[in-house]
C-alpha cells in the first residue's frame, strides 16, 4: 500500500499532517526524499535495494539539506528528422491531452523564478581573447590549462609559462606554438623535441588529430631513416648526422617510407619543394602550419550577440553563455531580453532536478542518473547540465527535439552534424530496430 502511494505521488496520505507537509516546503521536500529512499528499500530484488552504507549517506545528506530539489528549467527544442517508438506496451494518452500539457506544467514554468542561473555561472568565467606565454590573440576553441574545461574545445588546451612560447599536446606529442592566426584558423607549431635538434629525439611519427586539425596544402612528408646499414644506397635527399657524436648517418627520403632494412623510420612534415638537406635545420625551426577544423560560426554568432563561447559536454558542441538566460543557447539573440524564457519554438520540455535528476519525460524514457528499473533498455536520455536531452542510438548520440506520446514518435538529429552540412563522424546513420522504426515519411 505504501509503495502504491509513493508511486502515485500521494505522500500527503502517508505523512502526519501535523508536521506541516502541505504548508512547509522544507518538510515536504525532506519527506519526499525519505519516501524515495524508502521506495528503493522496499524493492523485492536485492540488487535494486541500496546498501546500508548508501542509506546512511543519503540520510545524512537529507539531514544536511544536500539533496535540495531545484526548480525546473524550461528549454525550447526544434523539430528535425524523426523515429517511431517500437515498444507498444505503454498506453498512449487520450487525444485531447497534448504533448505540451504532458511535459510542461504551465503553473510552474510561468513563475518568474522558475529557472536556476546555470548559464549565469558560466558567463564571465572565460576570456574572450587572451595571451599565452609570448603570444597573444588566442580565443575559443583554445583555453589555458588553468581555465575551466568548458572554456575551450577538447584538444585545444594550451600550456602557458610566463613569457616562454606556449605549448599544446596533439596525439601525445608536445608541440611548441610559434604563431596563431585566428581569422584563417591556422596554428604554426614545431615539435618540442626538435626545437634544438635537427633530428627528432622521440622516434615517433609526427601525427595530428585529423578530427581537429588538418595540414595546410603547402606541406609534404619526408622520412628520417635511423639505423641503416652502411651499404644503404636508396636514392633520396641525402643523409645527415644528428649530432657531432653520431657515427651513423640518418637518411632522408621523400614521402612516407617504412624502415625496410633500417631500424626506425620517423615521418616529419616539411614545406613543399624541399630538396636540400643542408638547409633542413632552418626549415624545421620554422615549424609547420595546421588548420583547426572547429567551425567558427557558432562561436561568432555567440560573441556577436553579446555572449561567451562555451563547450557543452552534454552535447559535445559549442554553446553560448548569456547573462540574461539561465541556460546555454545557440546565441544570445534568441533570448527574450525581458528576462523570460528563450524564444525558439512551441514545443517545450521541463528539466526537473530531484534526488534522481531526470528530465520530465515519461516511461519508457529514463535519465542517466536514474535507477535502471525506471525505464526500458534503449531509452536512456542524457540530461547532463540540463541543457538539451541526448539519446544514444547505435553508438551515435542524437539530440532530441520533440517527443509525442500520442503518436509515439521521437524527433532527433545526429549531434555531430545537426548544425553542420556534413557529419564529422564518417559512419552511416542507423537506428536500433529492436526499439525504433522510421516513420513512413523517411526512405531507407
Give me the residue spans of the domains in the chain: 1-68, 70-112+346-444, 157-292
Beta-bridge partner residues of 412:
400
Distances in Å between the Cα of 410 and the Cα atoms of 79, 350, 417, 440 are 10, 16, 18, 13
Which of 237, 333, 324 has the alpha carbon at shortest distance from 280?
A: 237
311-339 core/surface letters (b: 16 or more CB in 10 A; e: else): bbebbebbbbbbebbbbbbbbbbbbeeee
Strands 135-138 and 143-144: unpaired
- How large is the C-alpha radius of gyration of the chain? 29
**Residue whose C-alpha cell is 603547402:** 218
What are phi and psi for residue 138, nearest 5 degrees? -80, 145
pLDDT for 90: 41
Where do the DSSP E strands lie in 27-95? 70-76, 82-85
> pLDDT by residue for the chain (444 residues), tens digit each?
666 666 556 777 778 877 877 777 778 778 888 887 887 787 766 666 778 877 877 787 777 665 443 333 333 333 333 344 444 444 443 333 332 232 333 332 333 332 333 444 678 888 889 999 999 999 999 999 999 999 999 999 999 988 889 999 999 999 999 999 999 999 999 999 999 888 999 999 998 999 999 998 889 999 999 998 877 877 788 888 887 566 678 999 999 999 989 999 999 999 998 888 888 888 999 999 999 999 898 899 899 888 899 998 877 888 888 876 555 677 787 554 433 333 332 222 333 233 223 345 677 777 766 666 677 778 888 875 556 788 888 888 888 877 877 778 888 888 887 666 788 788 888 888 888 888 766 655
pTM of the model: 0.52
13 with 5: CB under 8 angstroms?
Answer: yes
Strands 143-144 and 157-159: parallel
**Order of all β-strands in the sheet with 358-359:** 70-76, 348-353, 358-359
281 C-beta neighbours (distance < 10 Å), count: 13
Could you give the CA distance from residue 235 to residue 8 in angstroms, rounded to a whole number? 81
145 with 159: CB under 8 angstroms?
Answer: yes
Cell of 28: 515536504
Could you give the CA distance from residue 275 to residue 265 in angstroms, rounded to a whole number? 19
109 C-beta neighbours (distance < 10 Å), count: 16
* CB-based burial label for 400 (10 Å; 0-12, 13-18, 19+): buried
Amino acid at each position: 500500500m505504501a509503495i502504491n502511494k509513493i508511486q502515485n505521488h500521494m505522500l500527503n496520505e502517508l505523512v502526519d499532517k501535523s508536521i506541516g507537509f502541505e504548508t512547509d516546503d522544507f518538510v515536504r521536500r525532506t519527506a519526499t526524499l525519505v519516501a524515495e529512499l524508502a521506495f528503493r528499500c522496499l524493492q523485492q530484488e536485492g540488487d535494486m535495494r541500496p546498501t546500508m552504507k548508501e542509506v546512511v549517506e543519503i540520510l545524512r545528506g537529507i539531514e544536511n539539506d544536500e539533496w535540495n530539489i531545484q526548480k525546473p528549467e524550461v528549454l525550447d527544442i526544434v523539430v528535425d528528422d524523426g523515429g517511431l517508438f517500437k515498444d507498444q506496451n505503454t498506453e498512449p494518452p487520450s487525444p485531447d491531452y497534448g504533448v505540451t500539457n504532458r511535459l510542461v506544467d504551465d503553473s510552474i514554468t510561468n513563475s518568474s523564478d522558475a529557472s536556476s542561473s546555470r548559464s549565469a555561472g558560466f558567463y564571465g568565467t572565460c576570456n574572450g581573447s587572451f595571451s599565452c606565454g609570448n603570444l597573444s590573440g588566442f580565443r575559443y576553441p583554445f583555453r589555458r590549462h588553468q581555465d575551466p574545461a568548458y572554456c575551450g574545445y577538447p584538444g585545444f588546451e594550451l600550456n602557458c609559462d610566463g613569457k616562454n612560447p606556449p605549448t599544446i599536446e596533439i596525439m601525445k606529442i608536445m608541440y611548441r606554438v610559434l604563431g596563431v592566426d585566428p581569422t584563417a584558423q591556422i596554428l604554426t607549431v614545431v615539435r618540442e623535441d626538435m626545437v634544438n635538434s635537427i633530428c627528432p629525439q622521440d622516434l615517433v611519427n609526427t601525427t595530428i588529430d585529423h578530427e581537429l586539425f588538418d595540414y595546410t596544402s603547402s606541406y609534404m612528408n619526408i622520412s628520417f631513416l635511423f639505423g641503416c646499414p652502411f651499404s644503404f644506397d636508396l636514392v633520396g635527399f641525402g643523409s645527415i648526422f644528428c649530432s657531432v657524436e653520431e657515427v651513423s648517418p640518418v637518411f632522408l627520403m621523400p614521402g612516407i617510407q617504412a624502415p625496410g632494412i633500417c631500424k626506425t623510420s620517423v615521418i616529419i612534415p616539411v614545406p613543399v619543394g624541399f630538396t636540400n638537406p643542408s638547409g633542413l635545420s632552418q626549415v624545421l625551426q620554422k615549424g609547420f602550419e595546421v588548420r583547426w577544423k572547429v567551425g567558427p560560426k557558432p562561436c561568432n554568432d555567440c560573441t556577436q550577440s553579446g555572449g561567451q563561447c562555451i563547450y557543452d559536454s552534454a552535447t559535445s558542441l559549442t554553446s553560448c553563455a548569456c547573462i540574461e538566460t539561465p541556460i546555454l543557447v545557440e546565441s544570445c539573440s534568441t533570448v527574450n531580453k525581458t528576462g523570460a524564457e528563450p524564444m525558439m519554438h512551441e514545443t517545450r520540455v521541463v528539466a526537473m532536478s530531484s534526488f534522481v535528476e531526470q528530465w520530465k519525460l515519461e516511461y519508457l524514457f529514463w535519465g542517466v542518473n536514474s535507477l535502471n528499473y525506471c525505464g526500458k533498455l534503449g531509452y536512456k536520455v542524457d540530461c547532463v547540465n540540463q541543457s538539451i536531452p541526448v539519446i544514444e542510438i547505435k553508438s551515435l548520440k542524437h539530440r532530441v527535439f520533440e517527443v509525442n506520446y500520442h503518436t509515439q514518435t521521437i524527433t532527433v538529429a545526429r549531434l555531430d552534424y545537426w548544425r553542420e552540412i556534413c557529419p564529422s563522424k564518417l559512419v552511416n546513420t542507423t537506428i536500433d530496430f529492436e526499439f525504433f522504426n522510421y516513420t513512413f515519411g523517411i526512405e531507407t
